Structure 1
Amino acid sequence: MAAGAPRIFVSHLSGVPVFDPNGDQVGRVRDLVAMLRVGGRPPRLLGLVVEVVSRRRIFLPMTRVTGVESGQVITTGVVNMRRFEQRPTERLILGELLDRRVRLVADGEEVTVLDVAIQQLPARRDWEIDRIFVRKGKSGALRRRGETLTVEWSAVTGFSLEEHGQGAENLVATFEQMRPADVANVLHHLTPKRRAEVASALDDDRLADVMEELPEDEQVEILGKLKEERAADVLEAMDPDDAADLLSELPEDDKERLLTLMRPDDAADVRRLLSYEENTAGGLMTTEPIVLRPDATVADALARVRQSDLSPALAAQVYVCRPPDETPTGKYLGTVHFQRLLRDPPFTLVSSIVDTGLAPLRPDASLPVVTSYLAAYNMVAVPVVDESGSLLGAVTVDDVLDHLLPDDWRETDFHSEGAGGPEDSERAEGALRGN
């Protein structure tokens, strides 16, 4: 864990108010949602169950939480008001884990769970269950209360999933150890019915990552079997360019209905991408590159580059623009490459080290022009600007490769040639086929 990262016991979060950035109360915390994992690994905290003013209980992902301190929770201000529905792989910490009887690994003694501590992982937005507070002695015993102690998650047994089960929970837990492309490879070889069952058990972020690696016809198939509200959630979790590619395959009425269900900001990005031709820079680009203002420092840039949810291609450079710093931005000033960030002192302004030597592309640039640009200048991403000089997005090399490779490239069994994780992939596929 990161030095100084606060450890929070969940009992202290029960009923605390949730505020948006403006200080307006959104609701109160009623529970926390975690996903168990195999092999004694600490569960990942997915989000909070928040009761809003109307007494409706909604799900607030931890990625939307910016602060947990002083008896309050602060959100980004973007809250999905759809009613919370617990999924098969999810566990409610207050409702299901507390007061549970488990055993200490060291001596097999049975203990009662009194509280659970969570902590944020270093340099990431992910949270995990970090410790558990337990009491020794028989449950409900009328004798003197037993000894209490705080132990690591791995020090107890009775929570985690078994490695060799074949339920949806165990499959999802196995998938968590695999890259999205490897999970997609497993799903690709399943029957449509089984593929839909497994997809429904994945959380939104994980399903979004996996769907981005599937052929478009299978993406459409999976999306069509989800409830419309959840389909919109998954589209929001996808990269905007991938979401736009998927929606472009749907009938116009279905596409418009899903866009209406999405959060307005996410839908606006996707609508903008849908306005460009598919095999152009505008159709290929992502609208979420790293954008910094001229007065940002190298330290600011490195902090953004370190974000774990960025692809390596997007993290390879930052784009310096005048405000606003969300696409479409103010005037595009240039690019600062990651290697240059490593060579300059942290207090250096990015405006003083910006590379202005390479001209950006226009959104109507064709696929051959984009590929030639990347190849000629040995780049992994290229900025895209409009006629006024505002940054619209960036095309990354992985998006270009998706359009250059043959349609059936995912059929290639590249996993057998040391691409990573073959044992996990084979084990997961065997378990899935056995169900």
Structure 2
Amino acid sequence: MSATAGRIFLSRIVGQAVFDPAGDQVGKLRDVVVAIRSAKQRPRVLGIVVEVLGRRRVFLPITRVTSLDSGQIITTGVLNVRRFEQRSTETLAIHELLDRTVTLPDGNPGTVYDLAMEQDPRRDWYISHLAVQAGGKRFGRRGPHQVLEWDEVKGLTSEETGQGATHLLATMDEMRAVDVANALRDLPSKRRMEVVSELDDERLADVLEELPEKYQIEILGVLDPGRAVDVLTEMDPDDAADLLGELPPATAEGLLLQMEPQDAQDVRRLLSYEERTAGGMMTTEPVVLSPDATIAEALARVRNPDLIPALASLVYVCRPPLETPTGRFLGIVHFQALLREPPSTLVGAIVDNDIDWPRPGASLQHVANLLAAYNMVALPVVDENSHLLGAVTIDDVLDHLLPEGWRESDPDNAEVVTHG
């Protein structure tokens, strides 16, 4: 929706870059903080939530925003970088008001899908209008759309059970999984679970992998067991094993029994290793090829967009079977080597295997030393009979080397001054 007579719809500015007076980007707008006083009184805009470097969300008072025109959000240049903590008197307009069910002037139900803010003559900002859909899909049909003033609808000042998340998720479509995870962390538990219930299994699996442990356990604990199994299956086996390892043994075993046998077997194997060892950190799904595969085939495999960059950096060459644990491990081929050879060349002709690769019991420190010594971002894990068991990537190593709770940690400094 477009702005009308100074009216700015939040869907236009959410996700927009926030700049300092010198034109340097300092972050992105993720939400608008408002104070709701009553059903008749328009909510006052207190400020915006800005996602800054390190994906931390901070609060910027609306008085420090000098321009919201045409998506160009410009600040005075001063940001308090302490993590935003929502107060009980504050409401997040995007994350909490979208998808709310309201009663329209004609007495019928409607669903909020956008909000508009306006500035009064005193230069204070208020939420002035709501874009609503009469009926809405949660009521069995899609009704007409209309824009109403705040006090023309009822139901926004009381708590709603079973609030949907369709329109909120639309604002998250282009966000990375880690950014969605950060957004979920900042939501009240009730709203977080409403969003989780509408994420598809693959998207939820990606988001779960980026969440701190306590949120993973909270979410998995309230999912229907059947859906919990589906989500675990979508996760990387090493991440699924890490999460199951934090659950009560009986709960974890119950979920494993419902998984497909092959998926459960991979996870059980990972659970059998100590957490801070090569076996405990590895993934069982690296790119494995036989020696008679061509460079063209190898490049096609590493081009898979679902592969993280570290896993796409190496091809692991083995005798059949090619599922881990594989037949005899012959060596690795670096992605750069694939680019230097003719497409018809066989990968078996260019393997490297001159390093003493770690066994599954190798320590975290040993694995980190190998990655650093050989300038690698991933390496194979093999058993005593030279069978490939999996691969350890640098992100898994960093996850264990960083202090516990690093996903939630904040620096001690409270304020930075940007240019201007």
TM-score by length of 1: 0.57
Residues 222-266 of structure 1 show CA distances to partners (whole Å, capped at 9, x for unaligned) of 000100000000000000000000000111110111001111111
2:358 aligns with 361
Would the aligned equivalents of 1:321 and 1:330 in 2 still touch at CA under 8 Å? Answer: yes
Residue of structure 2 in register with 1:61 after alignment: none
Within 5 Å, which residues of 2 pair with 1:178-193?
178-193=175-190
1:169 is aligned to 2:166: yes
Specify which of 299, 304, 307 is matched with residue 296 of structure 2: 299
Q: Distance in 1 between matches of 2:168 and 2:400?
A: 31
Q: Distance in 1 between matches of 2:226 and 2:333?
A: 39
Q: Please provide the CA RMSD for this pair.
A: 2.3
Contact kept, 8 Å, 1:185 with 1:410, in 2: the verdict is no
In 1, the alpha carbon distance for the partners of 2:400 and 2:286 equals 20
Q: Describe the superposition over 1:350-397 as per-residue Cα deviations: whole angstroms up to 9, x where unpaired.
A: 000001122211000000001111111110001001111100000000
Matches of 1:260 and 1:172, distance apart in 2: 32
In structure 1, list runs of 5 or more residues that go unmatched: 1-37, 40-88, 90-157, 415-435
Superposed, 1:36-435 pairs within 5 Å as 167-412=164-409
Is 1:212–1:238's contact at 8 Å kept on the other side of the alignment?
yes
- Distance in 1, Cα, partners of 2:189 & 2:403: 23
Q: Deviations over 1:314-346 (max 9, x none)?
A: 000100000000100000000000000000000
Query: Who wins on radius of gyration, i.e. which is larger?
Result: 2
> Hey, what's the Cα distance between the residues in 1 that align with 2:220 and 2:397?
24
2 CA distance for matches of 1:188 and 1:359? 42
Runs of 4+ in structure 1 deviating by more than 2 angstroms, as ranges, are: 411-414
Residue 306 to residue 331, structure 1, CA distance change in 2 (3 Å): same
Which one-letter code corresponds to 1:239 in the other structure? Answer: D
Aligned residue type for 2:176: R
Which AA in structure 2 matches 1:303? A
> 1: distance between equivalents of 2:190 and 2:397?
31
CA contact (8 A) 1:296 1:350 kept: yes
Deviations 1:109-152 (A, max 9, x none): xxxxxxxxxxxxxxxxxxxxxxxxxxxxxxxxxxxxxxxxxxxx
Contact 1:297 1:349 in 2 (8 A): yes
Q: Which residue of 1 aligns with 2:73?
A: none
User: Percent same amino acid among aligned pairs?
Assistant: 66
Instruction: Flag the structure with more relative contact order, 1 or 2, with Cα contacts below 8 A and sequence separation at least 6.
Output: 2
- Normalising by structure 2, we get a TM-score of 0.59
Per-residue deviation at 1:411? 2.2
Give the Cα separation in 2 of the matches to 1:167 and 1:251: 31
Residue 412 of structure 1 and its aligned partner are, at CA, apart by 4.5
Amino acid of the structure 2 residue aligned with 1:274: L
Give the C-alpha shift of residue 184 in structure 1. Answer: 0.7
